[in-house]
Structure 1
Amino acid sequence: MLKQYLFLTKPGILFGNFVTTLGGFFLAAQGQVDLPLLIITIIGTTLVVASGCVFNNIIDQDIDQKMQRTRTRALVKKTISVPVAFIFANVLGLAGFAILFFMVNIYSFLFAALGFFVYVVLYSLWTKRTTIHQTIVGSISGACPPVIGYCAVANQFDYAALILLIGYAFWQMPHSWGIAIYRFDDYRNAHIPILPVARSIKRTKIESTIYVILFMACMNLLYYFGYANIWYAAILNVLCVYWIYLSLMGFKAENDQVWARTYFLFSVKLITIISLGFYFTASAPTQALIIPLPFL
């Protein structure tokens, strides 16, 4: 039974957000990691993300039963009731938000709240079912964990945090569309208007290539502004050039599903290497480029 509750939180998504939260934390820490703060930040962020995933499971029950990869989820099979799942989601969320607010700082709390609101309300309840722009909306929530990690250490919102927010959002686009092409039949059967289903796979490949280039350009700004060293720039650009190569190879692919699986798996490897690599490649900028938030 405990295993079913664990799967309700979507462990794959939790692990991905764990890695990107580490990335933001490492970038701000510049090799001087405060381990207690890191553990607290990871726990708080993971609990908030887990809560959002459980709420997503509740909202998507009708969709999940139409998709091959999700039709065995606990809420679809009725092995966990909706009221129990709702309580579970609230407990996780309240615990996570409390940890970030009282034990980390207001910046991490606010970006956790932003990511949660976008994922549960704007994405799950609204755009996922109504528009091809769902992926753009969802990308904002996926880009919040590295900002949470960064702000936990920096205790400010600066150019690096903004670059992380925009850059990781750009990364979400080709990554998510790669999954959508790989699982094309599932999304079509569930009538989800994601780009490859609502428009075409060819258009999705074109836009994916554009977003890879935007991701590459944006993330290079960390080196330009002095937040990361030359080794970061070298690794980032080598990985991104190969990702662009994979993007272009998609136009010649004989089997779109096989290509898409390789494509999105590489995106996972890329973001993992970049995020964990910040432990070794972060550097101190010559000037603090703080962006004031008007409500703080």
Structure 2
Amino acid sequence: MGNELPPFQHDALNHIMLKKYIFLTKPGIIFGNFVTTLGGFFLAAQGSIDILLFILTLVGTVLVVASGCVVNNYIDQDIDHKMERTQNRALVTKAINPTVALIFAFVLGILGLGILWIFTNIYAFGFAILGFIVYVFFYSLWSKRTSIHQTVIGSISGACPPVIGYTAVSHEFDVAALLVFLAYALWQMPHSWGIAIYRFDDYKIAGIPILPVARSIQRTKIESLIYVCLFTAVLNGLYCFHYTNIFFLIIFNSLCGYWIYLSVIGFKAENDQLWAKRYFLYSVILITALSVSFLFSYNAQAPHLPIF
């Protein structure tokens, strides 16, 4: 009895452990996928939002993404301790038992997939499965450590949440869903490389063969500009196929115009790390603004162009 902690200390310890479990799910990635799921849902909803479906789709997707992130943390324990930005993660410091972390991931994944299976449809459920498999097996377990093409492979999983949001409403995979999938995958490239340049030393020390480390920062800047232009061209297809209105055309191209500008001035940057941090942060602002703009960008006369 004499060794028991006072109630307020118990509460403080519980709060600390809760934060460790939350950070194990990578809140930054959770936020990004939440936003892109939002965008896909808004685009398909065409101004008529089913609130219950909206909430369940977001919750289900976020839980599946969180599960993948926890598994990724489990897989990356051996390299996370080498990188400054990851060396204090709960599995690296042994604050959370690895087996417990896997159980936590399993519970999150089952809950998320269960929600999507019961309350959405086979399309949304299927893309959740696809995103999880690619992120855990093809990215985390394989390409992240062995291939310069890791970012391309990882971009497939990153492009799944907006398609989950879209197909949860549309109940089909159509031309708009395809354009969203391709565009959000293309966005991942300069976004991820911005982080890699900003944290160049971390990636080099950990031996991760991402483009700036495996080739050069200059080549990464060139390819980033190309992918920004491709992203812009592909998503403009939503307007060309009459899925969006003039509001989208103006907002989207204004956002992309500035991203292209940032890409170009990067070639003359005196400090690559400072430029890359700005470049990365803007990519987050752009995708957030874009996803929210779909709430106002729909075309009431959108065509019916199913693929499957």
Q: Shorter-chain TM-score: what band?
A: over 0.9
In structure 1, what residue type is equivalent to 2:223? E
Q: Contact 1:226–1:284 (CA<8 Å) still a contact in 2? A: no
> Does the residue aligned with 1:193 lie in a helix, a strand or coil?
coil
Counterparts of 2:44 and 2:142, CA distance in 1: 34
In structure 2, the residue matched to 1:74 is 90
Unaligned runs of 5+ in 2: 1-16
Which of 190, 198, 209 is matched with 2:206 structurally? 190
Q: Deviations over 1:6-40 (max 9, x none)?
A: 00000111011100000000000011111000000
In structure 1, what residue type is equivalent to 2:135? Y
Q: TM-score, normalised by structure 1?
A: 0.98
Q: Contact 1:27–1:282 (CA<8 Å) still a contact in 2? A: yes
Structure 1 residue 283: Cα displacement? 1.5
Counterparts of 1:95 and 1:117, CA distance in 2: 16
Counterparts of 1:235 and 1:103, CA distance in 2: 33
Equivalent positions of 1:217-296 (< 5 A) are 217-292=233-308
> Does the residue aligned with 1:112 lie in a helix, a strand or coil?
helix
> Does the residue aligned with 2:186 lie in a helix, a strand or coil?
helix
Unaligned runs of 5+ in 1: none
In structure 2, the residue matched to 1:216 is 232
Which of 46, 50, 69 is matched with 2:62 structurally? 46
**% same residue:** 67
In structure 2, the residue matched to 1:64 is 80
Counterparts of 2:270 and 2:302, CA distance in 1: 49
Structure 1 residue 284: Cα displacement? 3.5
In structure 1, the residue matched to 2:14 is none
Measured on the aligned residues, the alpha-carbon RMSD in Å equals 0.7
Specify the structure having the higher radius of gyration (Cα): 2
Counterparts of 1:239 and 1:245, CA distance in 2: 10
In structure 1, the residue matched to 2:152 is 136
Counterparts of 1:116 and 1:93, CA distance in 2: 9
Q: Aligned residue pairs: how many? A: 292
Counterparts of 1:285 and 1:98, CA distance in 2: 34
Structure 1 residue 242: Cα displacement? 1.0
Counterparts of 1:214 and 1:166, CA distance in 2: 10
Q: TM-score, normalised by structure 2?
A: 0.94
1:21 and 2:11 equivalent?
no
In structure 2, what residue type is equivalent to 1:52? G
List structure 1 runs of 4+ shifted beyond 3 angstroms: none
Counterparts of 1:107 and 1:20, CA distance in 2: 17
Q: Contact 1:100–1:108 (CA<8 Å) still a contact in 2? A: yes
In structure 2, what residue type is equivalent to 1:152? A
